[in-house]
Amino acid sequence: MGADLAQTSYLAPVFAQYPLEVASASGVWLTNSRGERVLDLYGGHAVAGLGYDHPGFTAALASQAHSCNFQTNAVAMQVRERAAARLVSFSGLPFASVFLVNSGAEANENALKIALRVTQRPRIVAIEGGFHGRTAAAGAVTFGAREKWYGFPRTPFDVSFLPRGDLAAIASQVGADTAAVIVEPVQGLAGAVDLGAPFLAALRERCDAVGAFLIFDEVQCGVGRTGAPFAANLYKVMPDMLTTAKALGNGFPCAALLMTAAVTATLKPESLGTTFGGGPMACAAIEAVIEAIESEGLLERVRRTGAYIREHCIVGPVTAHQGAGLLVGLRTQRPARQIQAELLECGILAGTASDPHILRLLPPYILEEEHVDMLRDALSDLTP
Ligand SMILES: Cc1ncc(COP(=O)(O)O)c(C=O)c1O
């Protein structure tokens, strides 16, 4: 059997795609296959924190590729030690160890496994609207996955979903059978829904009271996206485990599970494992990303540009904003997909969310106010 000559794509037909083909990219700009520039306010699902063709990032990857492109965790490498230490110091939080993996879902899968194994309890509590990934455990705690795409005959543990922001429900749902609560402090796919300090602090208090772990999924909202290293810093709530990915590698696939000393003490050789996780290219990417965020003052810039968007972009079809830093949800009067399509015609790429009236912005941290002005002008010209 040979290939079907009439077939134009051999990629699995599982992604709805924007009417945009990217040929190259630099800074905050994409260039499409017709040679036209498109302002990227979506950053490849929150990944391109440093934007494109960042000199330090590109040089670090090239240099690591030349010196040693891969060795597994069975072999010691300084770049791996440096990446883990740099990530903990960047967090400014009392974490004691880092397990490096490949994707956000894998980081969550490992965090959940640790919580279930250590507590020997059957239940994970997640939050309505949360997204945690597509694997068996991460999908099990993703709100709405079972109805839409989960696919496995049953979840690997009991799951309940807590209504967002419902302080009263916490005590009734998080109890003696709960191994962990997993929460995105700022929900991404839901539409940049900021759960806020009181709710997160109440989860922390209840987890302490019943002996459950608190897991922050900062795959989307971490690594500077909110203008703080992590949302845990922003809201001053310390989880037992924190997962992060996306902007961590600026496009080089990598993810991390950060753990406190108490969690680390439950681990022994072979408790966890991975082939590609913590590979030297990924570690060089992590180091380069943190170096750029720190040396270029990008946290401050995220806070400033995020505030500028909120101040200036409530125009045209946009009536309100939500989120934190450069994880922005703009509430639209008309369906956000219409606004997204109209903006793309004006050369601006924005995202949408599971809330059909939220236009989601996840731009590179290097975004400038002049780029926000372009968005404001384009929105002002649209029909409300
Ligand atoms: C909050 C959150 N957690 C987990 C994931 C899954 O990450 P990955 O696609 O790298 O497995 C995502 C991806 O969008 C996410 O936004």
* pLDDT tens, position by position, 25-70: 999 999 999 999 999 999 999 999 999 999 999 999 999 999 999 9
Residue nearest to atom 7 of ligand 1 (CA): 104
Q: What share of the chain is helix, strand, coil (3-state, %, to 5)?
A: 40, 20, 45
| Ligand 1 centroid distance, CA of 115 (Å) | 19
Predicted local distance difference test score (pLDDT) of residue 6? 83
Give the pTM.
0.98
Predicted local distance difference test score (pLDDT) of residue 338? 98
| Ligand 1 centroid distance, CA of 255 (Å) | 10
- Locate the ligand 1 atom nearest the alpha carbon of residue 184 and give its number: 1
CB-based contact 39:28 (threshold 8 Å): yes
| Ligand 1 centroid distance, CA of 210 (Å) | 28
Predicted local distance difference test score (pLDDT) of residue 4? 73
CB-based contact 184:131 (threshold 8 Å): yes
Predicted local distance difference test score (pLDDT) of residue 7? 87
Mean model confidence pLDDT for the chain: 97
Query: Is residue 103 in contact with ligand 1, taking CB distance under 6 Å?
Result: yes
Burial of 147 (0-12, 13-18, 19+ CB in 10 A): exposed
| Ligand 1 centroid distance, CA of 182 (Å) | 13
CA distance 185 to 225: 12
Query: Is residue 194 in contact with ligand 1, taking CB distance under 6 Å?
Result: no
User: How much is the average pLDDT of 115-119?
Assistant: 98
Decide: helix, strand or coil at residue 195: coil
Predicted local distance difference test score (pLDDT) of residue 2? 63
